[in-house]
Amino acid sequence: MSIVKQGISYGFVGVVQIGVDWLTFIGLTQLGILTGPANITGRIVGAVLGFWLNGRFTFAGDDARPLRPKHAMRFMVSWSLTTLLSTGAVMLAAHMDGLHMAWVVKPLADLTLAAIGFAASKYWIYK
């Protein structure tokens, strides 16, 4: 699959993934869960969906190879690093300007981190 098609597919999966993550985050924070744990939980829910969709469709290649444990381990390393950055951003936003600002910052931070995720996925995670 060409890099343009992969980019479009990654973008589509990313919109779905960030939406699920963000709605989970908002729901949990409305229930009184602190922003840090709520962000991590939302990212876990989104990550499970995104890992499978990207591995199955976006980066599967022409031979549609199955996902392997090495793919999952690489994904976890990349996901952990971007989750630390995302969680720091939403916690800082909540601390500085309240919960509603954290709700606004979260998808913006995650969209920014998605570019890093695309490069990591294409050239390392799903190889």
Quickly state the pLDDT bin for 45 (edges 50, 70, 90): very high
Quote the domain boundaries for residue 67.
3-125
Residue 63, pLDDT score:
62
Residue 3, pLDDT score:
85
pTM given for the model = 0.82
Q: Count Cβ neighbours within 10 Å for each residue of 117-127 and write b for 16 or more, e otherwise.
A: bbebbbeebbe
What average pLDDT does this structure show over 84-108? 96
Quickly state the pLDDT bin for 78 (edges 50, 70, 90): very high
Q: Could you give the C-alpha distances from 119 to 5, 22, 66, 68, in angstroms and in order? A: 14, 22, 20, 19
**Rounded CA gap, 103 and 50, in Å?**
21
Number of domains, the chain: 1
